[in-house]
């Protein structure tokens, strides 16, 4: 009987397994339903191109990833951005326009760049200037990003800031809607992080290198793919875990490093109220398309751009070869287009065609790519909507009732790869403590 069973082989589950190893626990097992490890992280190498199917980097200011990369033997493979960022840009009325300097998370910190921005009308700028020195005031409760901006800058200006700046940012980064996403996590994270040499850090061979390195060091005998866990329940001093295609497992500690709705399905028969709270966390899907060109077309400077709210389902485009070195062979280009869940049912051919159409209309690229890769991330991005913090608190109270149970992943306290790594390692410590208890 293993001391800890980990359900889910994404980066959170792998980080949990690594934490157990580092703590001296070799008695664990990881079960992943799909045929591969890594979850949404996947890198593909083709004809000297390095394409990403999920996250393309770590946020440098979040430290959890660096120790894991070092332990996995990848410290020499870390790379910062290849060229200075031109700053975030929005495709607005047929042109790429920079976001106003000083925009931090969900709100502006500098007035003058706003007053110069072509993204806003004269009347919108006047309304912002009028309210600039007005105290934020306290809301009557948790509010959305759009609601916060309307309260701070007035209905007209707040609506414009949400639609033209915050909306594209939230759509491109989180797949979210400014009218639904809670302002609270962004306000809580508002203090500026120490300056970094590069805001983003990646791996020379792609983000999948971390998954491969961890899997190699952890060993194949305890990393079991193709095992679909269907339920888990407390049994005696531990947990009984049932699978559709494997013998049942018993373990004192259980880590559910899977999406909240998948964790709800596993726990439904055991704790329906906890499952209800988990199921209440909404998710967004996305589709991304890598277009590879052996001969680079003319492109603007920078790392890419965000799409204006009216351009949905298009969310953003990354010039991957200008963001990180080695993503394309010399003289080549790699563009990555992101679409919202409205594109989830498109075929690969339809998705590639939509990306090519956007490349023509927005960037003037008429030549076809040499090849393309469309990747779907179904229900991969949890949405921290209004009420998320209270819901997570209720989930934590419910989980605490069950000794040895821990949750990990991007549904609770951060959606980025570093957040997932931190959650996996914390869950391992919780589960290990329970496994060590008499």
Domain boundaries, the chain: 4-40+211-281+384-436, 98-188, 283-382
Fold adopted by 4-40+211-281+384-436: FAD/NAD(P)-binding domain (3.50.50)
Distance of CA 9 to the CA centre of its chain: 16
Average of per-residue pLDDT values in the chain: 93
Asked if residue 187 has pLDDT above 90, the reply is no
Asked if residue 192 has pLDDT above 50, the reply is no
- Give the pLDDT confidence of 385-433 residue by residue, as tens digits: 999 999 999 999 999 999 999 999 999 999 999 999 999 999 999 998 8
Higher per-residue pLDDT: 332 or 176: 332
pLDDT, residue 193, reads 46
Return the half-sphere exposure (C-beta side, CA atoms, 13 A cut-off) of residue 152. 23
Helix axes 11-22, 64-71, angle to 10 degrees: 70
Separation CA 152–CA 404 (nearest Å):
44
Beta bridge partners of 176: none
How many C-beta atoms surround the C-beta of residue 362 within 10 A?
A: 18
Separation CA 8–CA 427 (nearest Å):
13
Separation CA 331–CA 349 (nearest Å):
26
CATH number of 98-188: 1.10.3110.10
What is the spatial order of strands in the sheet that 238-243 belongs to?
A: 229-235, 238-243, 249-251
DSSP-derived 3-state class of residue 209: helix
Q: pTM here?
A: 0.95
Residue 357, both tokens: 């159409």
Return the half-sphere exposure (C-beta side, CA atoms, 13 A cut-off) of residue 76. 1
Residue 95, both tokens: 């042109």
Separation CA 419–CA 421 (nearest Å):
5
Residue 292 burial by CB count (10 A; 0-12/13-18/19+): exposed, middle or buried? buried
Q: Which of 117, 119, 111 is nearest to 167 (CA)?
A: 119
Residue 61, both tokens: 């200011």
Separation CA 33–CA 40 (nearest Å):
13
DSSP-derived 3-state class of residue 287: strand
Cα radius of gyration (the chain): 23
**Using omega within 30 degrees of 0 as the cis cutoff, is the peptide bond preceding 170 cis?**
no
Fold adopted by 283-382: Polyamine Oxidase; Chain A, domain 2 (3.90.660)
How many C-beta atoms surround the C-beta of residue 122 within 10 A?
A: 8
77-92 exposure pattern, b = at least 16 Cβ within 10 A, e = fewer: bbbebbeebbebbbbb
Q: Please state, for a pLDDT cut of 70, what percent of the chain lies above it.
A: 96
Asked if residue 55 has pLDDT above 50, the reply is yes
- Give the pLDDT confidence of 68-110 residue by residue, as tens digits: 999 999 999 999 999 777 778 999 989 999 999 999 878 899 9
pLDDT, residue 108, reads 92
């Amino acid at each position: 009987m293993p001391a800890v069973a980990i359900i889910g082989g994404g980066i959170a589950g792998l980080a949990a397994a690594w934490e157990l190893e580092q703590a001296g626990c070799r008695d664990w097992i990881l079960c992943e339903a799909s045929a591969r490890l890594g979850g949404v992280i996947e890198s593909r190498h083709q004809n000297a191109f390095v394409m990403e199917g999920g996250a393309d980097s770590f946020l440098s200011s979040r430290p959890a990833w660096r120790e894991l990369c070092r332990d996995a033997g990848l410290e020499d493979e870390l790379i910062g951005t290849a060229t200075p960022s031109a700053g975030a840009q929005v495709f607005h009325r047929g042109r790429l326009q920079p976001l106003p300097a000083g925009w931090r998370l969900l709100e502006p910190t500098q007035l003058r760049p706003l007053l110069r921005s072509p993204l806003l009308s004269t009347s919108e700028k006047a309304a912002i200037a009028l309210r600039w020195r007005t105290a934020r005031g306290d809301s009557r409760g948790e509010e959305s990003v759009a609601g916060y901006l309307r309260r701070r800058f007035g209905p007209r200006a707040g609506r414009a800031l949400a639609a033209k700046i915050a909306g594209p940012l939230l759509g491109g980064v989180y797949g979210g809607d400014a009218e639904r996403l809670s302002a609270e996590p962004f306000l809580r994270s508002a203090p500026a992080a120490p300056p970094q040499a590069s805001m983003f850090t990646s791996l020379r061979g792609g983000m999948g290198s971390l998954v491969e390195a961890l899997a190699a060091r952890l060993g194949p005998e305890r990393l079991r793919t193709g095992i679909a866990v269907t339920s888990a329940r407390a049994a005696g001093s531990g947990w009984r875990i049932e699978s559709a295609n494997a013998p049942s497992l018993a373990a004192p500690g259980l880590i559910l490093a899977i999406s909240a709705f998948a964790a709800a399905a596993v726990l439904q028969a055991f704790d329906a109220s906890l499952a209800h709270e988990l199921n209440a966390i909404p998710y967004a899907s996305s589709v991304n398309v890598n277009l590879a060109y052996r001969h680079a077309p003319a492109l603007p400077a920078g790392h890419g751009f965000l799409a204006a709210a009216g351009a949905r389902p298009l969310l953003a485009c990354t010039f991957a070869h200008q963001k990180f070195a080695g993503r394309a062979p010399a003289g080549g280009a790699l563009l990555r287009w992101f679409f919202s869940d409205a594109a989830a049912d498109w075929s690969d051919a339809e998705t590639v065609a939509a990306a090519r159409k956007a490349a023509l209309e927005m960037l003037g690229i008429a030549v076809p790519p040499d090849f393309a890769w469309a990747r779907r991330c179904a229900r991969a991005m949890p949405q921290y909507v209004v009420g998320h913090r209270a819901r997570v608190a209720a989930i934590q109270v419910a989980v605490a009732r069950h000794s040895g149970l821990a949750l990990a992943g991007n549904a609770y306290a951060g959606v980025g790869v570093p957040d997932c790594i931190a959650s996996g390692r914390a869950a391992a410590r919780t589960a290990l403590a329970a496994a060590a208890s008499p």
